[in-house]
Structure 1
Amino acid sequence: MRFLSHFSMAVALAAAGTLAISAVPQEAHAQKKKKKSKEAEIKISKEIRPRVAEIQQAMGSETPTTAKPLVETLLSENLAPDDKFVAGQLAIQLGTTLKDTGLQEKGINAALDSGKTSAEQQPSFLFFSGNFAYSGGRYAEAQQRLQQAFDAGYRQNNIGALIAEAYFKENKIQEGLNALDRALEAEKASGGKAPQDWYRRGAGMAMKNNVNGAAGKWTYKLVEAYPTGENWRAALSVYRDSANPKLSNQENLELMRLMRKADAMESERDYFEYADAADPRRLPGEVVSLLEEGLANGDVPSSSSYVRETLAAARGAVAADKASLGASERDANRSPNGKIALATADALLGYGDYTKAATLYQSAITKGGVDVARAQMGLGIAQVGQSNWDGAKQAFAGVTGSRKSIADFWTLWIDQQAAGSAAPQPAPTAS
């Protein structure tokens, strides 16, 4: 992640306003106080005034480097606030001329320490001071100065991300994620949107450092702000791989179904993992639909022995599986608990019969004796298959426990369909 270079900082500071120092007696200033506020006046002491004039003369000569030792000597002294501010401004101007970043930094810090920096320049000076500290590896100092600039309203030069990086450099991962989150919220509050890289950085740091629960939250933020198929795949993959505890086979299936809906299936690994989660013996219709789709769009190689064997097993099981559904529906209606209804609803969902599946999921929930969160997930997915967005969101809202994050991802995708951010994908069907 690139931030502002030292020289660019100096140019920006110079553009913000350079100091015009004059040796005009204080009586003349008094005559002009109707035009200038007292707050803006800088009163150079009589002892310092000749030295300032000498420095300015050297700066304007053909050899401005001769002014550097004079400025550094002045900065090293115990100066009154106004004199320190003037010395700082001279150092900034000379540092810009000489492209001397060390002198620029000394000047900025002297101006800040003087307490005479104007309210308009204070946020910029704080930022540049913090950025110099960051570049010098003084990360604690950088955190403090940059946060002060941020709190003062400074929003340029990726400051929010830079604060986070200052924490990451010290391996303070949670503090860095918190800083990055504040930066994202500040962008939203101003009507803007943070760069995509900020979201990816947060997700990557959370995952790399095993911050409990944070990877899922950050991938959610990423796909919420930038809902592309690529980001959906990244978000769901990162969530799956970092889930603690590890997702069960059924939970992974619920996640992979969303990946398919979000047009985020990109590799044969995605299809193979989905097929394994569905299991050709348990949900043969869904496996057939999935792998035939992968073959048709070129994501799955027809030469793969896995594809040939899995498709053959699934196709061979479809006829008998379909033939058993009528009896399963009758048994589900007669059963005092919801176990048969849940299993039958799963099978119907795999064949794309969403209306019957939704009815049986609701029956399973009502009768009880089942994992309610699992049934609620199935109900929500069946409602999605019917484009019943309100019904789906209501079902997902009732999901608790380890599946809640998966349900939240589904709800986000639904909201994006309503907002028109992506075209709804066709429902899977099986022959």
Structure 2
Amino acid sequence: MGIGRFGHAGRGLAIGAALLVAVTALIPAHGAKKIKDKETDVAMADGFRVAASAAKAALSGGDMASANARIAALQPANPLEKYVAASLKFDYAMRRNDPQAIRRALTDILESGATPESQVPYLRYLAGYYSYYLGEQNDAIAQVNYARQMGYKPVESTVLLADAHIKRKKTTEGLAFLEAAVAEQRASGQAVPEAWFDRAIALAYQGGKWADVAKWTQQKLVAYPSAGNWRSGIVNFLAAPGLDPQAQLDLYRLQSATGAIASERDVQAYATLAARSGFEAEAMSVIEAARASGKLTTAEPVSAALLKSISVKAKKDIAALPAQVKKAAAAKDGSPAAAAGDAYFSLGQYPQAVEQYRLALSKGGVDVARVNSRMGVALARSGDLPGAKAALGAATGNWATVANFWGVWVDRQAQRTATLAVPPVQVRPTL
């Protein structure tokens, strides 16, 4: 099932137990002659009561053949009798695990004219659930909306509406309900199931809605920040058409920061893009780190060839950095400073990168969104997490998406820092 919230047997058993209690109350002990339903003020005839009692006893005893025959033979003549007969049909269908028969019995219960008002909202929801389960999405939506209008609207109903709309190819409406369900789940203090995020990401990806892919992926990473989730989330978003190569590079850097570089392909893609961007020393460090961790062997041809081609230039670029910084200080605009900041960033010298990025912003003439995004990362890697959040928050346009991915990582670092800052509890021995 789509979002993975429901199990029809469990939900049905819950309402089945409630109906059995109601039917037990309505079918008295053998010695009683008659009973009245307080809400309908309608009495069961003696003959019907005896036949219903026999059907109920057969069900309770597990004699399904006899129960089926006795239930089929019931001839209800008033609303209360119709309600009891339908409830017995429901019990029989539940014991047989027959969703279609359960759904028909729910219709009979609701149309009996004697259903207690307190049960109707939940029964409408359950009818909607079984319609959903049977693939009748239009009726599912109608029944669940009816239940919600009557006041029965737990988060399960919101999720059901989300999936029912999605199954009807109404993706936009379905995602809106799913977003509402996430908000309701969080408001209740419960964890949002990972499957909800996965469904939303998959739908956004299939529809080419890359802003939504990013939004849902980031929400998933906040709740489930495993290295595997970081890798799949970043790899998915890297497929977005027209993504700036520099933005791609910063996402590979994030993949590395989260420990999500997992394969030769990851290493090759990251190192190749870094080298093409003019950061040969960074490409060298990526390859060397992968070799040290066992993700690459020295015989792997792609990285070996790349390493051979860039090693000389990497050393020259590092040696030229002091002159580049002097040029940036004397320049009329901030472009040389931004380039120097990028060079320091690529080398992992983050305090120096921050200094150059601030100079670049003060001089102007630069891509402000890109500089703020990278300065935010550099501040975070330098230990200034509040400053990092402020800088990342200043990134706009397409760079805001990259900054938001890094923002999830920064928030995670802040949580860890806060946890480490809590002093251990001192336990004093009792005398």
Question: TM-score, normalized by length of structure 1?
Answer: 0.84
Note if 1:297 corresponds to 2:293.
Answer: yes
SS in 1 for 2:26: coil
Quote the residue 1:287 is aligned against. 283
In the TM superposition, what is the alpha-carbon distance from 1:51 to its structure 2 partner?
3.4
**Cα 1:52/1:421, change in 2 over 3 Å:** farther
Structure 1, unaligned runs of 5 or more? 30-37, 425-431
- Read off the aligned partner of 1:216 and give its amino acid letter: A
Note if 1:199 corresponds to 2:200.
Answer: no
SS in 1 for 2:308: helix
Q: Distance in 1 between matches of 2:229 and 2:382?
A: 25
Equivalences for 1:141-160 in 2 at 5 Å? 141-149=139-147, 152-153=151-152, 155=154, 160=158
RMSD of aligned Cα (Å) = 3.0
**Cα 1:220/1:135, change in 2 over 3 Å:** same
Note if 1:21 corresponds to 2:26.
Answer: yes
**Cα 1:93/1:312, change in 2 over 3 Å:** same
Equivalences for 1:308-387 in 2 at 5 Å? 308-387=304-383
SS in 1 for 2:320: helix
**Cα 1:269/1:84, change in 2 over 3 Å:** same
**Cα 1:115/1:407, change in 2 over 3 Å:** farther
Quote the residue 2:94 is aligned against. 96
Q: Contact between 1:254 and 1:406, CA under 8 Å: does it hold in 2? A: yes
Quote the residue 2:53 is aligned against. 56
Equivalences for 1:23-38 in 2 at 5 Å? none
How much identity, in percent, do the aligned residues show? 27
Q: Distance in 1 between matches of 2:113 and 2:410?
A: 53
Q: Distance in 2 between matches of 1:99 and 1:395?
A: 58
Quote the residue 2:131 is aligned against. 133
In the TM superposition, what is the alpha-carbon distance from 1:307 to its structure 2 partner?
0.7
Q: Distance in 2 between matches of 1:7 and 1:327?
A: 72
Q: Distance in 1 between matches of 2:117 and 2:292?
A: 64
In the TM superposition, what is the alpha-carbon distance from 1:93 to its structure 2 partner?
2.6
Quote the residue 1:429 is aligned against. none
Quote the residue 1:417 is aligned against. 413
Q: Contact between 2:332 and 2:363, CA under 8 Å: does it hold in 1? A: yes
Quote the residue 2:188 is aligned against. 190
In the TM superposition, what is the alpha-carbon distance from 1:333 to its structure 2 partner?
0.7
**Cα 1:42/1:88, change in 2 over 3 Å:** farther
SS in 2 for 1:366: helix
Note if 1:248 corresponds to 2:244.
Answer: yes
- Read off the aligned partner of 1:330 and give its amino acid letter: K
SS in 2 for 1:203: helix
Question: TM-score, normalized by length of structure 2?
Answer: 0.84
Quote the residue 2:423 is aligned against. none
In the TM superposition, what is the alpha-carbon distance from 1:128 to its structure 2 partner?
2.5
Q: Distance in 1 between matches of 2:209 and 2:10?
A: 36
Note if 1:269 corresponds to 2:269.
Answer: no
Q: Distance in 2 between matches of 1:344 and 1:361?
A: 8
**Cα 1:408/1:85, change in 2 over 3 Å:** same
Quote the residue 2:220 is aligned against. 222
Task: Give CA-to-partner distance per residue, 1:204-256, whole Å, 9 cap, x none.
Answer: 12212323522111111111111111111122222222x3x521111101111
In the TM superposition, what is the alpha-carbon distance from 1:397 to its structure 2 partner?
0.9
SS in 1 for 2:192: coil
Number of residue pairs the alignment of both structures matches: 405
Q: Contact between 1:280 and 1:313, CA under 8 Å: does it hold in 2? A: no
- Read off the aligned partner of 2:408 and give its amino acid letter: L
Instruction: Between 393-402 and 143-152, report the one with greater CA deviation.
Output: 143-152
Task: Give CA-to-partner distance per residue, 1:257-303, whole Å, 9 cap, x none.
Answer: 11111111112222222122212671122111111111111222332
In the TM superposition, what is the alpha-carbon distance from 1:7 to its structure 2 partner?
4.8
Task: Give CA-to-partner distance per residue, 1:32-78, whole Å, 9 cap, x none.
Answer: xxxxxx9x6343356x664354343344355112124335x65xx8x
Q: Distance in 1 between matches of 2:67 and 2:345?
A: 79
Q: Distance in 1 between matches of 2:204 and 2:276?
A: 35
- Read off the aligned partner of 1:41 and give its amino acid letter: E
Quote the residue 1:67 is aligned against. 70
SS in 2 for 1:264: coil
SS in 2 for 1:420: helix
Quote the residue 2:399 is aligned against. 403
Q: Distance in 2 between matches of 1:264 and 1:147?
A: 43
- Read off the aligned partner of 1:105 and give its amino acid letter: R
